[in-house]
Copies of this chain bind each other. A is one copy, B any other.
Amino acid sequence: MALWDGRFSGDTDALVARFSESISFDRRLYRQDIQGSTAHVRMLARCGIIPPADADAIVAELARLQQDIEGGKVEFEERLEDIHMNLESRLIERLGDSGARVHTARSRNDQVGTDVRLYLREEIDAIRRLLQALQASLVGLADAHRDVILPGFTHLQHAQPVLLAHHLLAYVEMLARDDERLVDARRRVNRLPLGAGALAGTTLPIDRHSVAAELGFEETLRNSMDAVSDRDFMVELLAALSLIMTHLSRLSEDLILWSSQEFAFIELDDAFCTGSSLMPQKKNPDIAELTRGKTGRVYGALVTLLTVMKGLPLGYNRDLQEDKEPVFDAIDTVKAALAVYAPMIAGARVNGARMAAAAADPALMATDLAEQLVRLGVPFRDAHRQVGRFVAYCRDRGIGLDEADLAAMRTCIPQATEDCLTLFDARRSVMARDSYGGTAPRRVAEQLDFWRARLERHE
């Protein structure tokens, strides 16, 4: 007889322990756990719930414990499940009765929420600094090549000439919105769950607001059941991180294209590429490729947590333990990508001549001609049609738009004037796009000034 007669081996306990432990990943929160416990026991003493001497002993021992952990002297144990029990059990071991008071008026449900929020608050700040460093790199590269013109692309086809600085500043804008979103998300992270207990609050006379103040939380969560079971601040952060990766994946695509033999618009520094001793032309933009690829894992982390949360009834459910790994991994990924991107951009070499050559095709100035006709009173749709006819005329004759004379132009565009013949110059075209937000050097210089000032403020 068979598999189902229940000879399940004695290693079930080990399997279950392994399946349900979290110390392998929540150990990362040791510092926040200590920080939260320190504020908690101080409050307990202030409120007369535990003796001041015990609080002092706990606070001092927690500080020592942190030193020991950072000195590599503490081995966390899987059998103690998580970081909370690992730290509490050591405290009791060292302090006896005093240590046994640390877990008064709290549960692991509100404790882990507090730890995670403290952690995310720091990480958000760190990511913001990295975002700003990358913005600074982009502004620096833009600034150093203020005169470089390249084709602006739509549909990956040459469209109109633009300044390289204008192109790069588009990414600075994206990252600025990412930064805004982090600031917004941080407000919802920075609210205190501690004191919510397992789900319903506590019967002891605690003072949550003072804990919030000590730990720098802007608000104290108003509903204990919500406080212990909600993870929407983590989903929101994952969504914001996903957008950062979206933006980096787009920048990566540009860099990969520009590094190809066909484009040859830029050269990334060797430090950010792998070469091949065999194939000299091969200098692979690995960092850009890996970043583009890592976009997937951050999207995946977002889907993971959304899936975890879907359809959970109210109150803490153990499913929520699955919140941390995707968030930690996404944070690590985004930080690492930003950290390598900033110096990579700073060290990129621009091939301005290749860019300029690609932007020189007079056909890229066809829109300039149509807009000139508008200035002469031609309704835009008609101007558009006439220029189209002129373009076809030139193509049929195998000449560039800049090679037709006025008479020829007038066969297609009756109102054409001498001025119209002077438009087919990329630099002139760029200078003319002087509308707010446009690519004209004056406009781009304004933007460069704006960003330099803003980024310096942040330092």
Contact = CB atoms under 8 A, between A and B. Distances in A.
Contacts of A154: 109, 198-199, 282, 284, 315-317
Given A13-B271, A173-B222, A322-B297, A438 B200 contact: yes
A86 interface: no
A74 interface: no
Interface string A8-24: 10001101101110000
Contact of A195 (B289, B375, B435): B435
A373 B138 CA distance: 46
What DSSP secondary structure best describes chain A's contact surface? Answer: helix
A156 B304 contact: no
Contact of A311 (B101, B155, B272, B310): B310
A287 to B, nearest CB: 6
A280 B363 contact: yes
Interface centre among A132, A252, A278, A385, by most chain B C-beta atoms within 10 angstroms, is: A278
Contact of A137 (B3, B233, B381): B3
Contacts of A171: 226, 314
A382 interface: yes
A74 B24 CA distance: 23
Contacts of A188: 177, 180-181
B160 A200 contact: yes
A347 B6 contact: yes
B221 A232 contact: no
Contacts of A456: 2-3
User: How many copies of this chain?
Assistant: 4
Contacts of A199: 152-154, 159-160, 162
B279 A293 contact: no
A246 interface: yes
Contact of A374 (B204, B278, B371, B447): B204
B297 A346 contact: no
A314 B250 contact: yes
A105 interface: yes
Interface in A268-320: 271-272, 274, 277-287, 289-290, 292-297, 299-320
A303 B245 CA distance: 14
A368 B200 CA distance: 11
Interface stretch (A29-37, A115-123, A335-343): A335-343
B306 A290 contact: no
A54 B315 CA distance: 56
A293 B314 contact: no
A236 interface: yes
Contact of A443 (B161, B201, B437): B201
A129 to B, nearest CB: 10
Contacts of A443: 201
Interface stretch (A64-72, A258-266, A402-410, A413-421): A258-266
A223 B155 contact: no
Given A6-B346, A157-B282, A363-B279, A434 B223 contact: no
Contacts of A195: 435-437
Interface centre among A155, A274, A299, by most chain B C-beta atoms within 10 angstroms, is: A155
A339 B252 contact: no
A347 B8 contact: yes
A242 to B, nearest CB: 6
A173 B287 CA distance: 29
30 contacts: A4-B452, A16-B271, A19-B337, A20-B286, A99-B381, A103-B380, A105-B435, A154-B316, A155-B316, A155-B318, A156-B260, A157-B261, A159-B198, A160-B199, A167-B314, A169-B223, A169-B226, A173-B222, A196-B438, A202-B433, A204-B374, A204-B435, A242-B306, A253-B313, A257-B257, A278-B366, A280-B392, A281-B363, A286-B318, A290-B319
Q: List 9 tightest A-B contacts by C-beta distance, closest first.
A: A201-B438, A4-B140, A277-B388, A293-B319, A300-B304, A3-B136, A239-B239, A296-B307, A8-B343
